[in-house]
Structure 1
Amino acid sequence: MSNNLAVLNALDSARTQWYHVQAIVIAGMGFFTDAYDLFCISTISKLLGRLYYFDPATGKPGKLPPQVNNMVIGVALVGTLSGQLVFGWLGDKLGRKKVYGITLILMVICAICSGLSFGSTASSVLGTLCFFRFWLGFGIGGDYPLSATIMSEYANKKTRGAFIAAVFAMQGVGIIFAGLVSMILSKIFLNAYKAPSFHKDPVFSTQPQADLLWRTVLMLGALPAILTYYWRMKMPETGRYTALIEGNAKQAAIDMGRVLDIELAAEQDKLAQMKASNEYKLFSPEFFRRHGLHLLGTMTTWFLLDIAFYSQNLTQKDIFPVMGLTRKDVEVNALEEVFETSRAMFVIALFGTFPGYWFTVFFIETLGRFIIQLVGFFMMSIFMLIIGIKYDYLKTKEHKWLFAALYGLTFFFANFGPNSTTFVLPAELFPTRVRSTCHALSAAAGKAGAIVGAFGVQNYTLNGNTKKIRQAMMFLAFTNMLGFCFSFLVTETKGRSLEEISGEDGGKNDMQMAGREPSRATMDRQGSRVDSM
């Protein structure tokens, strides 16, 4: 630690204060927006099928064709993957703050335009919707590496994991609000228009109101982003970026001294020595020697986790009827279907998804990232395997609440587990010069897994075939066990400075010291050292 710059030591040892709270709220509201925009589509996708694929000749509710459904659900994920790679790289090249504002503006514009999707035919309306949701996802993608990197570089070392996890926990709040907003709006429309149930009204006269509903749900995703733009632009560039990448120790000392309300020495000569020892490029032999296994570990675990996590989230609208949480589409009109789907999504998120995020926030600095990730993967695998094996038993009316409990527990252990830790670890393991890019690569691998879930697993189970759902759940249990195994490629990071973890302070990181990942004994020593501080 003595080899580190004074400004970085000050950040690492700073007591928790107001600027930490501001950073969590500002970055967290970005993730709230991200989650709302990505998951609100699940509440209205069936509605889009009713509106644009209704066949008066059959008198049955319309459904999105499988390929159209995949595009509507998955196009934002493709955009997110692309945005993560582009903005993650730009975050290291241009600065975290400069790129941070661009992502927010893009999210606001595209959320509004998604709701204004125009066209005279079903294909033109949905084509426009998919276009804007791709670019919405592109902006969302930039928020992943930038929010994580900014929070990790602002935080002190004792609470860094909890702060980063708190930012990510706003994803859970966003998912809750995606269900809550859709539920409230659909109830308002139901009360205002007194729409009859579908089986009593084959002509389906609720179309005008339903069309306004889905557009309003999507456009409201711009609101939280607009509210936080001013505060995001007021944040100073992180001291680590200013010092270690721009090479301006004086400006870093001024910026962080103002934030911490103390005077800091510039130490330009010491900074020059640190930069000289860390000039290796991304994907160079030196990078792979120091960080290769870590990058492989963060990418594979996030990829495997998101196959399961997004498969569960995006297909829950089809599982809710099996649980008895929603009625069949022929028993409800369009607005009732949105209300029931949103209500079920809200309940599962509130009692299963949301608590898991905050359990991670509260326990990540005591249990550590490694243990939480292993336990989460293992428990997800167990519960998904039970659902897969006992699906026929669980889907009966008598056992619907047991089904709901098991289903909710998979979300709990995803979030009190790898869904949170795979976000935290890439923000801590890699050096400042490539931190945003490496986080982006890890997150993009995750979105590749999400795309597998959206286009592969969801398509496989789209018709509700019992055998296929059972097979899908057992496949997801297997991917979680693979994630458990690949977790051994990452290391525990709690209680250490970012420079100590990466070796930027002149010391050696875990891979350099041992030529392999540290043993559990090593990690236990690290944990003991933190607990004694």
Structure 2
Amino acid sequence: MASNSISVLNALDNARTQWYHVTAIVIAGMGFFTDAYDLFCISTVSKLLGRLYYYDPALGKPGKLPHGVNNVVIGVALVGTLSGQLFFGYLGDKFGRKKVYGITLILMASCAICSGLSFGYSPKAVLGTLCFFRFWLGFGIGGDYPLSATIMSEYANKKTRGAFIAAVFAMQGVGIIFAGLVSMIISRVFLGMYGGPAFNDENVFSTEPEADYVWRIVLMIGALPALLTFYWRMKMPETGRYTALIEGNAKQAAADMGRVLDIEINAEQEKVAQFNSANEYQIFSSEFFARHGKHLIGTATTWFLLDIAFYSQNLTQKDIFPVMGLTRDAVKLSALREMFETSRAMFVIALFGTFPGYWFTVAFIEKIGRFYIQLVGFFMMSMFMFIIGVKYDYLKDKDHRWTFAALYGLTFFFANFGPNSTTFVLPAELFPTRVRSTCHALSAASGKAGAMIGAFGIQNYTQDGNVKQIKKAMIILAITNLMGFGFTFLLTETKGRSLEEISGEDAGYGDAQAAGEERRDNWDDTSRNG
């Protein structure tokens, strides 16, 4: 007998979509909104930091963070995110999704505020303090990945589960837009308040003293969405699957989910106990690797390969932004004006290239399926990156700017209407309840390892702006995406099935029930014959 004979699981799988599901998407999604805002606003902030702390009049050009320092300022949060994914992913299975969820939110909010308050008696000290808090900010962000995905998958019904998980992740697109929008608004406000020469194109790379306030304000605003959702996160009950299948408390699970879904659910403690006894294996066991090893390799490798390409895409930004007229030479701009133009460019690219892909996934994931969306996304990314690589000289010419913009935007679109979304969804569905958060964390951490290779390895290779190197790098990324296409075949389609059916937990439970029924039949026969 399958797990859908257990009332609490059956109720969750077949629940009608209601307001509580929407609330859960918003509460979990605001974590990703915060994540994206905090991780992406640093690209505009880093320009101000260079202007403020590394200006040398003798060089006759705007101040700029040294390449190594810039890598640390931007990359320290990625290191923190990878560490936090592994740490909180494990704790989510060990102590519960809800208990750990609140800790990540507090960490994110407090470190966002502290990042803006970075202090020191020298530029080195200020940046050192900033990097310290950015690491711990990333640590909290890392915890949000496995916990948000797991909570949403365990709350959702089986017909709309993929769309709900994808909607949580799509809030990342909203966060990227707001990172550009907030940076643009605040820099524009200060330009208006302290205008004059800052608007003058002939004003050669001046740095307004107020710029020191701007970067701090931008970073601290990242705490607001986390703080606004903290109360609602704490009101959410533990997921019914964790309470029943890990804690073994069928009565509490039935009460919590009955209140959430506004229905009456039978506790069925004996059935739950039998289900759990059939699925007690741990992640580092031969049984886990026999059942799920192929899937874990698939989710980890595809996320790793996707993030190498995804976090390398901005290596052509220095050309696409000026060609589209979104930014101008920094030598002609004041610090705040440069920040305004860079933020505006990021906002435009996110709005028209990045954002739509996320919501296309939400709209079509239950129709097309995770597997095919991921395959098509990897293939299309590979094709567009290959074209950009081969025709890079041609595309850099202003006469071909719309072709360049279309290829650049479509690469982002198919990343998000493709593997950037599905690599988040699939690990939340493929693995058993007992290790779901940990497996998602391992997959996500593999992704962040790929992000670091993309952000530092690939971009360090092309830092001199050599056209041949950029062309070669884009072709390498196209091949990387084709590898992701190939590793996708290690995965399986999950749409329309219960989590227990997908993970194989049903099979063990069915065998245990069959064995129990056979023992009871034998006992009855013995009793009658005796």
Normalised TM-score (structure 2): 0.93
1:375–1:417 Cα contact (<8 Å) kept? yes
2:416 maps to what in 1? 415
Residue in 2 that maps onto 1:528? none
Change (3 A) 1:51 1:369: same
Tell me how far apart the structure 2 counterparts of residues 248 and 431 of structure 1 sit (CA, whole Å): 17
Counterpart of 1:257 in structure 2 is 258
8 A contact 2:112–2:222 mirrored in 1? yes
Residue 238 of structure 2 is aligned to residue 237 of structure 1 = yes
Task: Please tell me the residue identity of whatever aligns with 2:65.
Answer: L
Relative distance call for 1:366 and 1:124 in structure 2 (3 A) is same
- 1:130 counterpart residue number: 131
Who is 2:46 aligned against? 45
Q: Judging changes above 3 Å, is the alpha-carbon distance between structure 1 residues 339 and 225 closer, same or farther for their aligned structure 2 residues? A: same
Report the Cα offset of residue 506 of structure 1: 2.8
Amino acid at match of 1:204: S
Q: Give the structure 1 partner of residue 440 of structure 2.
A: 439
Q: What's the CA shift for 1:209?
A: 1.2
SS in 1 for 2:222: helix
2:281 match: secondary structure: coil
Cα deviation, residue 251, structure 1: 0.5
* Corresponding residue SS for 2:411: helix
One-letter amino acid of the counterpart of residue 58, structure 1: L
Q: Distance in 2 between matches of 1:494 and 1:314?
A: 35
8 A Cα contact 2:295 2:430, kept in partner = yes
Query: Which residue of the partner structure matches residue 25 of structure 1?
Result: 26
C-alpha separation in 1, matches of 2:188 and 2:210: 12
Shift of 1:462: 2.4
Equivalent residue for 1:350?
A: 351
User: Would the aligned equivalents of 1:81 and 1:141 in 2 still touch at CA under 8 Å?
Assistant: yes
Contact 2:52 2:207 (C-alpha < 8 Å) held by counterparts: no
What is the aligned-residue RMSD (CA, Å)?
1.6
How many angstroms apart in 2 are the aligned matches of 1:132 and 1:316? 28
Query: Which residue does the alignment assign to 1:14?
Result: 15
| TM superposition shift of 1:478 | 1.1
Partner of residue 161, structure 1: 162
- Residue aligned with 1:505, SS: helix
Distance 1:136 1:507, change over 3 A: same
Residue 84 and residue 318 in structure 1: after superposition, are their counterparts in 2 closer, same or farther (change >3 A)? Answer: farther
CA distance in 1, matches of 2:406, 2:119: 41
CA distance in 1, matches of 2:137, 2:43: 16
Alignment of 1:78-477 (within 5 A): 78-194=79-195, 196=197, 200-201=202-203, 204-206=206-208, 208-313=209-314, 316=317, 319-477=320-478
Matches of 1:321 and 1:75, distance apart in 2? 28
The letter of the residue matching 1:289 is: A
Structure 2 letter corresponding to 1:320: F
CA-to-aligned-CA distance 1:392-427 (integer Å, 9 cap, x gap): 111111112221111111110000000000000000
Offset at residue 2 of structure 1 (A): 4.0
Q: CA deviation at 1:222?
A: 0.3
Q: Is the 8 A contact 2:85 2:143 kept in 1?
A: yes
Closer/same/farther in 2, CA of residues 312 and 484 from structure 1, 3 Å limit:
same
Query: What is the identity percentage for the equivalent residue pairs of Structure 1 and Structure 2?
Result: 80
Q: Which SS does the other structure have where 2:468 is aligned?
A: helix
1 CA distance for matches of 2:504 and 2:91?
A: 23
| Aligned AA (1:275) | N
Q: Counterpart amino acid of 2:280?
A: E
Aligned-residue offset at 1:324: 3.6
Counterpart CA distance in 1 for 2:275 and 2:358 is: 36
Q: Which amino acid aligns with 2:135?
A: F
Instruction: Kindly provide the CA deviation profile for residues 133-178 of structure 1, in whole angstroms up to 9, marking residues without a partner as x.
Output: 0000000000000000000000000000000000000000000000
CA distance in 2, matches of 1:58, 1:376: 45
Per-residue CA deviations over 1:434-482 (Å, capped at 9, x if unaligned) read 0000000000000000111122122222232222221221111111111
Classify 1:159/1:387 alpha carbon distance in 2 versus 1 (closer, same or farther; 3 Å): same
CA distance in 1, matches of 2:291, 2:207: 64
Report the AA paired with residue 389 of structure 2: G
Q: Distance in 2 between matches of 1:468 and 1:194?
A: 41
Contact 2:85 / 2:442 at 8 angstroms: preserved in 1? Answer: yes
Q: Which residue number corresponds to residue 522 of structure 1?
A: none
CA distance, structure 2, for counterparts of residue 359 and residue 507 of structure 1? 36
User: Which residue type is aligned with residue 383 of structure 1?
Assistant: F
Mean Cα deviation higher: 247-256 or 307-316: 307-316
Partner of 1:69: 70
- How far is 1:277 from its partner? 0.9
Q: 1:407 to 1:423 in 2, by over 3 A?
A: same
Partners of 2:347 and 2:210 lie apart in 1 by 22
Secondary structure at the aligned position of 1:355 is classed as: helix
Q: Which amino acid aligns with 1:311?
A: S
* Contact 1:7/1:264 (<8 A) preserved: yes
> How far apart in 1 are the matches of 2:323 and 2:77?
27
Q: Evaluate the alpha carbon distance shift between residue 205 and residue 62 of structure 1 in structure 2; reply closer, same or farther with a 3 A threshold.
A: closer
The SS at the match of 1:61 is coil
Cα distance change, pair 461–391 in 1 and its aligned pair in 2 (3 A): same
Determine helix, strand or coil for the equivalent of 1:120: coil
The answer to whether the Cα contact below 8 Å between 2:3 and 2:9 also exists between their aligned partners in 1 is no
Distance across 2 between alignment mates of 1:278 and 1:108: 37
Contact persistence 1:45–1:69 (CA under 8 A): yes
Q: What is the deviation of 1:203? A: 8.0
Matched residues in 2 for 1:57 and 1:108: separation?
A: 40
My pick for the range that moved more, 305-314 or 405-414, is 305-314
**Using the alignment, how far apart are the partners of 1:69 and 1:467 within structure 2?**
24
Q: Which amino acid aligns with 2:359?
A: W
Partner Cα separation in structure 1 for residue 361 and residue 205 of structure 2:
49
Greater CA radius of gyration, 1 or 2? Answer: 2
Q: Cα offset for 1:199?
A: 7.3
Which consecutive residues of structure 2, in runs of 5 or more, have no partner in the other structure? 511-530
d(CA) in 2 for partners of 1:70, 1:315 = 17
Contact residue 43 and residue 317 of structure 1 kept, 8 A: no
Shift of 1:202: 5.3
Normalising by structure 1, we get a TM-score of 0.93
Match of 1:512 in 2: none
CA contact (8 A) 1:195 1:333 kept: no
Say which is worse superposed, 313-322 or 85-94, in terms of deviation. 313-322
Using the TM superposition, give the Cα deviation of residue 321 of structure 1 relative to its aligned residue in structure 2, in angstroms: 2.9
Q: Is the 8 A contact 2:3 2:509 kept in 1?
A: no
Q: Deviations over 1:25-46 (max 9, x none)?
A: 0000010000000001112222
Whichever residue aligns with residue 160 of structure 1, its letter is R
Aligned residues: 508
Query: Alpha carbons of 1:203 and 1:42: their partners in 2 closer, same or farther (altered >3 Å)?
Result: closer
Structure 1 partner of 2:494: 493
Mapped to 1, the partners of 2:99 and 2:465 lie a distance apart of 46
Report how far residue 430 of structure 1 moved. Answer: 0.1
Shift of 1:507: 5.6
1:311, distance to aligned residue in structure 2 (A): 1.7
Q: Unpaired runs of 5+ in structure 1?
A: 510-533
Partner AA of 2:184 in structure 1: M
8 Å Cα contact 1:502-1:508 kept in structure 2: no
Q: Does 1:479 align with 2:480?
A: yes
Q: Kindly tell me: are residues 203 and 100 of structure 1, through their superposed partners in 2, closer, same or farther at Cα, counting changes over 3 Å?
A: closer
Distance in 2 (alpha carbons) for counterparts of 1:106 and 1:47: 25
Aligned to 2:507: 506
Distance in 1 separating the partners of 2:226 and 2:166: 20
Check the 8 A contact 1:387/1:394 in 2, yes or no: yes
**In structure 2, C-alpha distance between the alignment counterparts of 1:314 and 1:250, rounded to whole Å:** 54
Name the structure 1 match of 2:527.
Answer: none
